[in-house]
Amino acid sequence: MAGIVAIGSICGSSVSGADGETLGSITEIMVDTAGGGVAYVVLAYGGVLGVGEKLFALPWSALSIDAASGKITTSLTRDRLDGLDGFDKDAWPTEPDAALG
């Protein structure tokens, strides 16, 4: 079915920025249990083996997914993410970061 992908196939996938450069990977997809939709997608960015890694709560609308190839892109860039703090791995947000949508 066009436009439908399994959540399991998205987690762990790499995300490319507007310039085609790999920004990081999707580590989680958070679901809004009350509304039944995707609350946000967690992008792990930077770091080496988890050290120095930043986590970002991206709104679903910030991603573009090609269902046929599985390629995931965003209009965000490395420069934009470098200038932001992300969120703490011990204090997960309840909604996406509005600055990233």
pLDDT tens for 70-94 read: 899 999 999 999 989 899 999 999 9
pLDDT tens for 11-57 read: 999 999 988 999 999 999 999 999 888 999 999 998 776 678 899 99
pTM: 0.88
What's the rounded Cα separation, in Å, for the pair 37 and 35? 6
Is the pLDDT assigned to residue 1 strictly greater than 60? Answer: no
What's the rounded Cα separation, in Å, for the pair 86 and 4? 28
**Any idea which architecture 7-100 has in CATH?**
Roll (2.30)
pLDDT value, residue 58: 96
Average pLDDT value for residue range 62-68: 87
- Assess contact for 87 and 95: CB atoms under 8 A: no
Higher pLDDT, 69 or 61: 61
- Spell out the domain ranges in the chain: 7-100
Give residue for tokens 């079915």.
1
Give residue for tokens 């599985």.
70
pLDDT value, residue 88: 92
What's the rounded Cα separation, in Å, for the pair 24 and 74? 11
CA–CA–CA angle 101, 87, 57 (5° rounding): 30
Dihedral angle computed from the Cα positions of residues 31, 72, 62 and 74, in that order, rounded to the nearest 10 degrees:
150
